[in-house]
Chain A
Amino acid sequence: MEKFNQLNGVAAPLDMINVDTDQIIPKLHLRTIKRTGLGKVVFEELRFNTDGSEKPEFVLNREPYRNAKILVAGDNFGCGSSREHAPWALLDFGIRCIISTSFADIFYNNCFKNGILPIIVSKEELDALMGDAGDTDNPELTIDLEAQTIRRPNGPIVSFTIDEFRRECLLEGLDDIGLTMQKVDKIGEFEVEQRQSQPWLYNQG
């Protein structure tokens, strides 16, 4: 997983609440057996007409947002289906940070597994950042995960909190499975004990 430390880039405003993962990546694209290549179809039904032509009003189809690295979005972002294809598609497009007032649980977890930083801010802060992103002349933000800040072109810095362990893993680009395998003895001990108390859970192996 790629490390995340500082990110400076264009922030695209997506001023919608309850954006669900069906909207982020429609189901026909779940047939892929890879994690990559979905950037060209992220937000497909919001972004393209059925004939494949672009919908000019959708934010990611407009300059300067075609190269957005940050998304500023409304409440409860990423709700609905657990499909990890949603963060894969966003990452493949180039988005590495999403800022909102809240995220759905499964989507939030999936972001961290893929080196995407989801940041939770207050409503007032979101309104200010949505305004920053909406300024097409200067929509850049600088995210500093080490310092836990969002630097804005004009206006006070926004500080954010984040789970310490998750922050470390993102900063170091750590692989979850490798970390857990360091505790494999404890897993084995758990199984020995559980096999005693609930043997029926081990009938198939």
Chain B
Amino acid sequence: MAAPQTLFDKIWNSHLVAVQDDGINLLYIDRHLLHEVLSPQAFEGLRMARRPVRRPGATLAVADHNVPTTDRTLGIEDPESRLQVETLSINCKEFGVPLFDMLDPRQGIVHVIGPEQGFTLPGTTLVCCDSHTATHGAFGALAFGIGTSEGEHVLATQTLRTSRPKNMRISVEGKLSAGCTGKDLILAIIGKIGTAGGTGHIVEYAGQAISDLSMEGRMTVSNMTIEAGARAGLCAPDEKTYAYLEGRPMAPTGAQWNQAVAFWRTLKSDPGAVYDKEVTLAAADIAPQVTWGTSPEDVVSIDGAVPNPADAGTEAKRAAMQRALDYMGLQPGTPMTDIPIDNVFIGSCTNSRLEDLRAAAAIVEGKKVAAHVEAMVSPGSTIIKRQAEEEGLDRIFTAAGFEWRESGCSMCLGMNPDRVAPEKRCASTSNRNFEGRQGRDARTHLVSPAMAAAAALAGRLADVRELE
């Protein structure tokens, strides 16, 4: 009788092409997503070695990092950005890879459009040269980020040479409290286990609080798994997963749909499966979260205060905390709700889907963004933008004083012109608050969409539970 397997074990084992004596596995890759920033050198490598793409039909490319979120029919002003986006188009044409270019009505952030199109499917291995590939784990896909050289290897061979990670389970029991979302949940998890807490592991999320989340909520949680060091974060698929996928353009249909769902129902960890690490949290203990520092692990509840480096456990940690406070221009002991902000960004592969936009719109409807704040919304895809406009969300945002933009990675990392100015402070629904992330010397506070909306109205970090 075979030993009980985790969901990760099942997907990994069923995708092994070969195992070497030294433990390096050759893993088959079912789905490969590409964007314009980290793919040029991969295609160039193929070209120089005269190798074709092995399975163009299992590959999908989109331009998302460099594209402007203002009127795109005017083209891209920055010559390097323009070259990168054009290079993707040239490469995809030459190698026969399907592409959503900048003006395609299906264009969006790569980790939004994959599920949206039904390209992401349960039980598959899915890679992309981008660490937030973890997002697709919400569908019970083994999805993780890879480097460009590995991307070239996948294009050429449809496989990856990789060592096998360990299993980690993060169980979240009970129900999230009012005002708390998947974003608060994952921030709390990262705060608890640290930015390297999952290194070397694949995470499986379990527990009622996870299964209570919608697919969009699960995508947020899976997305930020990499910020805890684990490359992938899986949620076992269930009826919500199948309902989300049914009817999507690239999802199976008819008899194949029934066959697929029957298979997907087997995708769960066996009772008695063993994990190398286990972490549990109580959802009810979590309050709306906000980061104070320059690592996603630098997080507190909104009703908390900036911590004191003197309380750090090690000298290295104390030095890192002090450095973060100096960069962020914050003093220990400052209540988080006392911190004024200059910018608000609602967008990114973490939180830019329709439910995120609805949640933020519900907060700002009929109210005004604080006079000194610049606020913008960039929907995760052109399809989401259109759906939001059909619901009138765009008018709610613009009436409140937000800019309503096109879809792209935008201010998450400011490769396009959407950047935060030096020493300006941004309440952002994105995933990283590193030094310089949103712009040189820019200061980022990571929050949920509702919390970003609350901050926009208050002109400072604010507790969404205390709004009228």
A33 to B148 Cα, complex, angstroms: 11
Residues of B within 8 A of A201 (CB): 30, 58, 121, 124
Q: CB-CB < 8 A to A79: which residues of B? A: 195-196, 229
Which residue from chain A places its CB closest to the CB of B82 in the assembled complex?
Answer: A31
Indicate if the CB atoms of A105 and B231 lie closer than 8 Å: yes
Residues of B within 8 A of A17 (CB): 316-317, 320
Q: Are A187 and B159 in contact (CB under 8 A)?
A: yes
Q: Mark contacts of B240-270 with chain A using CB atoms, 8 A cut-off: 1 yes-contact digit, 0 otherwise.
A: 0000000000111000110110010000000
CB of B89 closer than 8 Å to a CB of A:
no
Q: Which of B109-141 contact A (CB under 8 A)?
A: 121, 123-124, 129-131
Bound CA span A106–B83, Å = 27
> A164 to B22, Cβ gap below 8 A?
yes
* Contact of A142 with B by CB under 8 A: no
A85 shortest CB reach to chain B, Å:
8
Q: Tell yes or no: A205 within 8 A of B by CB.
A: yes
Bound together, the chains give a CA A203 to CA B60 distance in angstroms of 14
Residues of A with C-beta under 8 A to B81: 31
Find residues 150-185 in chain A having any chain B CB closer than 8 Å to their own CB.
163-165, 176-177, 179-181, 183-184
The verdict on B49 contacting chain A, using a C-beta distance below 8 Å, is: yes
Is there contact, CB below 8 Å, between B157 and A180?
yes
Chain A residue at minimal CB-CB distance from B124: A201
Is B158 touching A33 in the complex (CB atoms < 8 A)?
Answer: no
Q: Which residues of A contact B148 (CB under 8 A)?
A: 84
Q: Does any Cβ of A come within 8 Å of B55's Cβ?
A: yes
Let me know if A147 is at the binding interface, CB within 8 A.
no
Complexed CA–CA distance, A80 and B431 (Å): 10
- Asked if residues A113 and B149 are in contact (CB atoms below 8 Å), the reply is yes
Q: Is the CB of A110 closer than 8 A to any CB of chain B? A: yes
* Binding-face segment, B36-44, B271-279, B342-350, B398-406: B36-44
Q: Are B87 and A33 in contact (CB under 8 A)?
A: yes
- Using an 8 Å CB-CB cutoff, how does the interface string of B142-162 with A read, 1 for contact, 0 for none? 000111111011001111011
Q: How far is the CA of A90 from the CA of B181 in the complex (A)?
A: 39
Instruction: Give the number of residues in B that approach A within 8 Å (Cβ atoms).
Output: 84
Contacts of A113 in B (CB 8 A): 147, 149-150
Chain A 14-40 residues near chain B, CB threshold 8 A: 15-18, 20, 22-23, 26-28, 30-35
A205 contacts B150, C-beta separation under 8 Å: no
Give min CB distance, A105 to chain B, whole Å: 6
Q: Is B407 interfacial (CB-CB < 8 Å)?
A: no
User: Does A186 touch B at the CB level, under 8 Å?
Assistant: yes
**Please, which residues of chain A bring their CB within 8 A of the CB of B415?**
27-28, 30-31
Known pairs A180-B26, A204-B98 / 11 extra A-B pairs, C-beta < 8 Å? A30-B37, A35-B41, A45-B436, A76-B195, A79-B229, A80-B131, A84-B147, A104-B199, A180-B157, A198-B260, A199-B256
Q: Which 5 A-B pairs have the closest CB atoms?
A: A205-B57, A200-B252, A204-B57, A113-B149, A33-B40
A sample of 24 cross-chain residue pairs with beta-carbon separation below 8 angstroms, ordered by A number, consists of A16-B323, A22-B434, A22-B436, A28-B415, A50-B440, A79-B195, A79-B229, A81-B130, A81-B131, A84-B147, A84-B149, A105-B165, A109-B147, A113-B149, A180-B159, A181-B157, A184-B157, A187-B157, A191-B28, A191-B158, A194-B28, A198-B123, A201-B58, A203-B256
